[in-house]
């Protein structure tokens, strides 16, 4: 790779493209993406067909990643494999069966792709409770497969979006790994926390009682501003205001130009399923340092 060439990445369980935004802003080229949900696919294609035209022209934006025909389209030896994979429950997983124990879960599909395509690095994201699921046995199976069966390093940490400039708590588990021949060069470090770039008052363009907003939820509405289950009602200029996708996308670090060709309810659901852009971008910068790749800001 010459210094002027972009690094490459694939975007699995792509959702609406939080990973795509973050890595594209660092100069990356998405060479394959998959997302099965039809509404999320609509939003993804609307926003990235001009940014990454060959992805769509060459039929490299696929649906169900469990299909062999879709996995065959993935290029080998890409720089970074990205996946915000669903936390599909492992049922009472053990500690010794490894690859066979993960069969039937969506993580197994990621593991199979890593095994067959040998990316230089992977960047996985999931809910923080994955660390404690089944008394830690689920994550131990995941770590064991990545490290001992696939021969990648494994670094993990729970990062909060509010520690990386965005006014939403949104704690998520990040799992970073490098192929064995690369991992020996330098130890990976997660990015240092930074101050808020803006507060919820700036999100609402008014005086909000909270500087940092709630973590977006996937389904339904809150139950009133004083209810402990509330997540979408805020006091702004002394009045209750319900969040819309316009405020939510700013909280999550999506650009103002990002458009949702779906209803507001679906847009909020899609944002609730997405990664927060800032911590992904800052973590990806540190991945590029290990890979020895130059950032080519676009």
**Judgement on whether residues 190 and 212 belong to the same structural domain of the protein:** no
- Residues 117 and 207: their CA atoms lie apart, in Å, by 50
CB 223 within 8 A of CB 229: yes
**Judgement on whether residues 176 and 216 belong to the same structural domain of the protein:** no
**Judgement on whether residues 241 and 111 belong to the same structural domain of the protein:** no
Supply the range of the domain harboring residue 246.
Answer: 200-262
**Judgement on whether residues 66 and 206 belong to the same structural domain of the protein:** no
**Judgement on whether residues 90 and 148 belong to the same structural domain of the protein:** yes
CB 186 within 8 A of CB 290: yes
Report the domain count for the chain.
2
**Judgement on whether residues 188 and 278 belong to the same structural domain of the protein:** yes
Say if 282 falls within a structural domain.
yes
**Judgement on whether residues 110 and 48 belong to the same structural domain of the protein:** yes
- Whether 82 is a known active-site residue: answer no
**Judgement on whether residues 258 and 153 belong to the same structural domain of the protein:** no
Active site residue: 30, 73, 82, 87, which one? 87
**Domain CATH for 21:** 3.40.50.150
* φ, ψ at 124 (rounded to 5°): -110, 150
pTM score of the predicted model: 0.91
The tens-digit pLDDT sequence of the chain (298 residues) is: 444 568 999 999 999 999 999 999 999 999 999 999 999 999 999 999 999 999 999 999 999 888 999 999 998 889 999 999 876 565 444 555 555 556 558 888 999 999 999 999 999 999 888 888 878 888 888 899 999 999 999 999 999 999 999 999 999 999 999 999 887 778 899 999 999 999 999 999 999 999 999 999 876 667 788 888 889 999 999 999 999 999 999 999 999 999 999 999 899 999 999 999 999 999 999 999 999 886 554 4
């Amino acid at each position: 790779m010459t210094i002027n060439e972009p690094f490459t990445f694939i975007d699995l369980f792509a959702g609406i493209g939080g990973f795509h935004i973050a890595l594209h802003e660092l100069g990356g080229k998405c060479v394959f993406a998959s997302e099965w949900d039809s509404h999320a696919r609509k939003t993804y294609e609307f926003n990235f067909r001009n940014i990454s035209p060959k992805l769509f022209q060459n039929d490299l934006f696929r649906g169900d990643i469990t299909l062999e025909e879709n996995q065959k389209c993935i290029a080998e030896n890409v720089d970074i494999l990205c996946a915000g994979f669903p936390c599909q429950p492992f049922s009472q997983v053990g500690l010794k069966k490894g690859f066979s124990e993960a069969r039937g879960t969506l993580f197994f599909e990621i593991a199979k792709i890593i095994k067959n395509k040998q990316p230089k690095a992977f960047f996985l994201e999931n809910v923080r409770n994955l660390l404690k699921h089944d008394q830690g046995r689920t994550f131990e199976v995941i770590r064991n497969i990545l490290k001992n069966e696939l021969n990648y390093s494994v670094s993990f940490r729970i990062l909060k979006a509010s520690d990386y400039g965005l006014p939403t708590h949104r704690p998520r588990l990040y799992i970073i790994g490098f192929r064995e021949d690369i991992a020996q060069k330098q130890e990976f470090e997660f990015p240092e926390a930074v101050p808020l770039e803006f507060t919820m008052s700036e999100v609402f363009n008014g005086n909000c009682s909270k500087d940092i907003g709630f973590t977006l939820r996937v389904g339904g509405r809150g139950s009133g501003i004083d209810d402990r289950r509330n997540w979408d009602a805020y006091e702004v200029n002394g009045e209750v205001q319900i969040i819309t996708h316009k405020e939510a996308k700013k909280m999550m670090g999506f650009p103002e130009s990002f458009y949702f060709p779906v209803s507001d309810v679906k847009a909020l659901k899609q944002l609730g399923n997405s990664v927060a852009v800032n911590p992904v971008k800052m973590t990806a910068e540190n991945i590029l340092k290990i890979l020895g790749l130059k950032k080519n800001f676009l």
